[in-house]
Amino acid sequence: MLQRIKKLQTILKTNNLDCLMLHEFEQSKPAQIRYLCGYTGDNAWLAVLPNEAILITDFRYKTQIAKEVKGAKKVIAEQSLSAELGKFKQLTVKNLRIGYLEEYLPTKMLGLIKKQLPDALLVPTNGLVESLAIIKDTEEIASLERAVEIADVAFDRILQIIRPGISELDVAAELEYQMKMLGSLDPSFETIIASGYRGALPHGRASAKKIKKGEFVTLDFGATCNGYRSDITRTVMVGKADAKQKKIYSLVLKAQTAGCRKARAGLGGPEVDKHVRDIISKAGYGKQFGHGLGHGIGLLIHEGPRLSSLSTDVLQPNMVVTIEPGIYLEGWGGVRIEDDVVITKTGCRIMNKAEKRLIEL
């Protein structure tokens, strides 16, 4: 953790900042404080200065921060958290350039900083911590691998209960239960179970719809380990697939496999996206693949880098991304297949072991 703070301090110097003020609140959780010093609560300020870092939280987390937080001074607020800011001489220096997270900080909270530190120069920033977190270290990759493993095993188990008559909500509940039994604290995100015509919804969260024979069922879900989140999608067939279903499935699998083979350090996000998109487009389904190829994962389920035509990211070793092409046909259904992969100098390492060939239940 200390090394992450030291790297950030170097970045602050490069950006002509004297301090970076980060926050962690229940309604606005960018997870950056956890990344930097290990704090997992939902009420804190973290001030990163050139030679120190100060974490301010409330009494509820006194015991928790003693165990979790590394590399930062720990302060329990006597009143409100913001009221503590003005008590630190190093923060009340005239014209101190303090960066804040423009993308995440509510206007009300920005006002509290201004009130407590009226002599500071507040500078909006974006992407400073993300530029560090985008490259995963050995410990982070190990946590992601465990989260992937949990999801893979849960998928294998859930195949035993998917059958005609069961609802999407029941499948989601059982899937999340199995992940918890395997050690996941929480699902990575709200589990997506989309069967039949609902498979045309890329984010078709589980509904009361009953699964029928002859339908595809798309399952998009993930587990957490030490706060790190996996993200897997598999599409299975209830009964025997017909010719069109086999065609669409084979095309998505071909494209997804090609994406895994293509991804490597040095390539731009748009380049990998185009390689996969061209396969689907040449088959006549380009307009039915309407989202990006993938995204980074970590403490947040959507991080950099992005694999899409709009991305400016270049892949680097130890980035962890999803590769998830799909085809969605309104009124008919859809197919998506997704793996989590670690980028290497020569390619990528697929973490998922769950079966990708068409499964007919």
Instruction: Indicate where the chain has its CATH 3.40.350.10 domain(s).
Output: 2-133
What pLDDT score does 29 carry?
Answer: 61
Structure token pair of residue 112: 């509290």
What pLDDT score does 183 carry?
Answer: 97
**If one looks up domain 2-133 in CATH, what number appears?**
3.40.350.10
- Cα gap 224→23, rounded to integer Å: 22
- Cα gap 222→352, rounded to integer Å: 11
Residue with tokens 């206007």: 107
What pLDDT score does 2 carry?
Answer: 81
Alpha helices in 118-167 (DSSP H): 130-133, 138-158
- Cα gap 317→303, rounded to integer Å: 16
Which DSSP helix (H) or strand (E) runs through 107?
A: helix 107-116
Q: What is the rounded end-to-end Cα distance, in angstroms, of the chain?
A: 46
Q: At what angle do helices 269-282 and 243-262 cross, to 10 degrees?
A: 160
35-64: average pLDDT: 95
Q: Looking at the predicted structure, is the pLDDT value of residue 27 above 70?
A: no
Q: Which residue type sits at 342? A: V
- Cα gap 43→29, rounded to integer Å: 9
Q: Looking at the predicted structure, is the pLDDT value of residue 158 above 60?
A: yes
184-195: average pLDDT: 96
DSSP code of residue 211: P
Q: Looking at the predicted structure, is the pLDDT value of residue 162 above 80?
A: yes
Question: 100 - beta bridge partners?
Answer: 21, 124
For the chain, how are helix, strand and coil distributed in percent, rounded to 5? 35, 25, 40
| pLDDT > 90 in the chain, percent | 93
- Cα gap 201→136, rounded to integer Å: 31
DSSP code of residue 268: B
Given CATH 2.60.40.10, say whether it is the number of domain 138-350: no
Question: 335 - beta bridge partners?
Answer: 327
What pLDDT score does 191 carry?
Answer: 97
What pLDDT score does 28 carry?
Answer: 58
- Nearest to 225, CA basis, from 166, 152, 333: 152
Instruction: Indicate where the chain has its CATH 3.90.230.10 domain(s).
Output: 138-350
Pairing between β-strand 97-101 and β-strand 19-25 as defined by DSSP bridges:
parallel
Q: pLDDT band at residue 25, thresholds of 50, 70 and 90?
A: confident
Structure token pair of residue 280: 């689907």
305-313: average pLDDT: 96
Q: What are phi and psi of 67, to 5 degrees?
A: -90, -35
Q: Looking at the predicted structure, is the pLDDT value of residue 26 above 70?
A: no
Q: What is the mean pLDDT of the chain?
A: 95
Is the Cβ–Cβ distance between 307 and 282 less than 8 Å? no
Q: pLDDT band at residue 106, thresholds of 50, 70 and 90?
A: confident
Question: 139 - beta bridge partners?
Answer: none
Cite the beta strand spans of the chain per DSSP E. 19-25, 43-48, 53-57, 73-76, 97-101, 121-125, 192-195, 216-221, 224-225, 228-229, 232-237, 294-296, 303-307, 320-323, 326-329, 333-336, 339-343, 348-350
Report pTM. 0.93
What pLDDT score does 330 carry?
Answer: 96
Going from the C-alpha of 187 to that of each of 8, 222, 227, 228, 230, the distances in angstroms are: 30, 6, 10, 11, 9
Q: Looking at the predicted structure, is the pLDDT value of residue 134 above 60?
A: yes
95-123: average pLDDT: 92
